[in-house]
C-alpha cells in the first residue's frame, strides 16, 4: 500500500521534530560523530519522504499516464 500525502507530511513533521534537538546538540558539540550519524539517517529519511511526496503530487496532477487530467484555459 502506498503512503498518502497526509501520512508523508505527518512523517516528515515527526522526523523534523526529532531532528531539531539533535542538530542543536551537534552545533554545540561538532566532534560528536554519533550525533552526525543520527542526523544523516534522519536527513535521508526526510529526503525519501520528499521524493515520495513529490511522486504523490505528480500522480494527483498527471494521473498514472503522466498526462494532465485537466488543462486550464485563460
Please tell me the predicted confidence (pLDDT) of residue 5: 86
Task: Give the total number of structural domains in the chain.
Answer: 1
> What does the pLDDT look like over 31-74, one tens digit per residue?
999 999 999 999 999 999 999 988 887 665 555 555 555 555 55
The parent domain of residue 14 ranges over: 5-62
Q: pLDDT: is 2 or 41 the higher one? A: 41
69 located within any domain? no
Angle at 62 between CA 49 and CA 3, to 5 degrees: 30
41 located within any domain? yes
Q: pLDDT: is 57 or 13 the higher one? A: 13
Would you say the pTM of this structure is higher than 0.85?
no
72 located within any domain? no
Amino acid at each position: 500500500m502506498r503512503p498518502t500525502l497526509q501520512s508523508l507530511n505527518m512523517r516528515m513533521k515527526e522526523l523534523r521534530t526529532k531532528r531539531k534537538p539533535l542538530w542543536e546538540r551537534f552545533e554545540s558539540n561538532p566532534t560528536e560523530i554519533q550525533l552526525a550519524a543520527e542526523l544523516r539517517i534522519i536527513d535521508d529519511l526526510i529526503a525519501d519522504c520528499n521524493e515520495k511526496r513529490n511522486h504523490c503530487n505528480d500522480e494527483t496532477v498527471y494521473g498514472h499516464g503522466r498526462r494532465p487530467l485537466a488543462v486550464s484555459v485563460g
